[in-house]
């Protein structure tokens, strides 16, 4: 099977990976140890042009934390305008908030460059690093600045309001207050994708399966690799297939069939899932699974990919960005 990303739905540009938080659910493993690289106007313009050419009707801007580099974000917003592509929203966790006056000034500046809606993340995961008082203040700043608000996820608002809003609170505090079932139900309530740091969070929460069971389940391939309904291209030019962070397709290769020699991992996953990838990596690189059972096939897939990058120093176009496997 040859995979081809020939058209795109609605998606986003990951403008940076740097973030002041290291949330346990983060698909992209964003955090303070990442470099402060940011998508330039020229890079964003090229990315948006590719998205538009392949039919994407609208885009959003995410991170990392996009608002930690206001000038960089202004450039990205300008690029979206100049590319003629519709901007849905910009995501933020709100860690950048210092006071109401500076927050309103920043939002008004961004508004002049085309920002009209801010997605503000609110959850116990974010609250481990960001006091809820900051979240509430960003909401108020949006109201004062005429910026529309998209709270994600508003269902957690009352939960977050239960604690002292002036400081962060750990997930363990939430578990003690609401009961351990609360933590086990978080992945469902948040709609967490099993990738990145979330793989560590999922560990032990659900029934584990043998490698044979997981391979059989995806014997027809990982169909999600071709899903373009919520795609992302990052600031380094990596298209992330099917929300599988750490896997990548060069943006220049979008729109036509992938060369199996250039993309052996993605090709095998598309053809037969981990059941096709595991024997190849075992024979070629000497990989041995660390366990007999895994929560999901994504967990084993990530272990194989991290082995290639960290243990075998494999330099591959489809294992980008490399920092994803080290941070």
Is residue 247 within 8 A of residue 268, CB to CB? The reply is no
What pLDDT score does 321 carry? 98
Q: How large is the angle between the packed helices 274-285 and 297-306, nearest 10 degrees?
A: 20
pLDDT band for 307, please (50, 70, 90 cuts). very high
Q: In what order do the strands lie in the sheet with 148-152?
A: 148-152, 117-121, 86-92, 58-62, 11-14, 231-234, 238-240, 249-250
Q: pLDDT digit string (tens) for 47-96?
A: 999 999 999 999 999 999 999 999 999 999 999 999 999 999 999 999 99
Q: pLDDT digit string (tens) for 168-190?
A: 999 999 999 999 899 999 999 99
In total, the chain counts a number of residues equal to 327
Task: Copy the structure tokens of residue 251.
Answer: 């943006």
Instruction: Flag whether pLDDT at 285 surpasses 90.
Output: yes
pLDDT band for 319, please (50, 70, 90 cuts). very high
Instruction: Flag whether pLDDT at 198 surpasses 80.
Output: yes
Q: pLDDT digit string (tens) for 240-250?
A: 998 999 999 99
- Residues 248 and 242: their CA atoms lie apart, in Å, by 10
- At 28 the three-state DSSP class reads coil
pLDDT band for 1, please (50, 70, 90 cuts). low
- Looking at per-residue confidence, does 192 or 20 come out higher? 20
pLDDT band for 29, please (50, 70, 90 cuts). very high
**DSSP bridge pairs for 217:** none
Does the 11-207+226-256 domain belong in CATH 3.20.20? yes
């Amino acid at each position: 099977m040859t995979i081809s990303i020939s058209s795109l739905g609605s998606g986003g540009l990951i403008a940076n990976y740097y973030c002041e938080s290291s949330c346990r659910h983060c698909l992209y493993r964003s955090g303070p140890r990442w470099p402060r690289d940011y998508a330039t106007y020229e890079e964003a313009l090229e990315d948006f042009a590719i998205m538009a050419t392949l039919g994407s009707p609208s885009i959003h801007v995410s991170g990392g934390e996009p608002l930690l580099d206001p000038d960089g974000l202004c450039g990205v917003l300008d690029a979206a305008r100049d590319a003629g592509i519709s901007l849905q929203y910009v995501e933020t966790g709100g860690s950048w908030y210092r006071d109401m006056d500076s927050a309103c000034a920043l939002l008004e500046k961004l508004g002049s460059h085309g920002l009209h809606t801010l997605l503000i993340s609110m959850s116990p995961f974010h609250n481990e690093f960001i006091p809820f008082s900051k979240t509430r203040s960003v909401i108020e700043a949006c109201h004062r600045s005429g910026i529309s608000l998209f709270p994600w996820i508003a269902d957690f608002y009352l939960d977050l309001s239960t604690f002292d809003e002036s400081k962060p609170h750990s997930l363990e505090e939430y578990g003690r207050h609401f009961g351990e079932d609360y933590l086990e139900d978080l992945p469902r309530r948040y709609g967490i994708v099993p990738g990145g740091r979330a793989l560590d969070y999922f560990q032990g929460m659900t029934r584990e399966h043998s490698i044979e069971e997981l391979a059989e389940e995806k014997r027809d391939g990982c169909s999600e690799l071709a899903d373009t309904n919520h795609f992302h291209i990052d600031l380094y030019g990596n298209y992330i297939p099917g929300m599988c962070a750490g896997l990548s397709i060069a943006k220049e290769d979008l729109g036509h069939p992938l060369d199996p020699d250039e993309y052996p991992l993605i090709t095998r996953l598309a053809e037969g899932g981990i059941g096709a990838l595991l024997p190849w990596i075992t024979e070629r690189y000497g990989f041995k699974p660390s366990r007999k059972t895994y929560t999901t096939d994504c967990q084993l897939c990530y272990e194989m990919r991290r082995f290639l990058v960290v243990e075998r120093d494999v330099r591959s176009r489809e294992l980008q960005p490399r920092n994803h496997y080290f941070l």
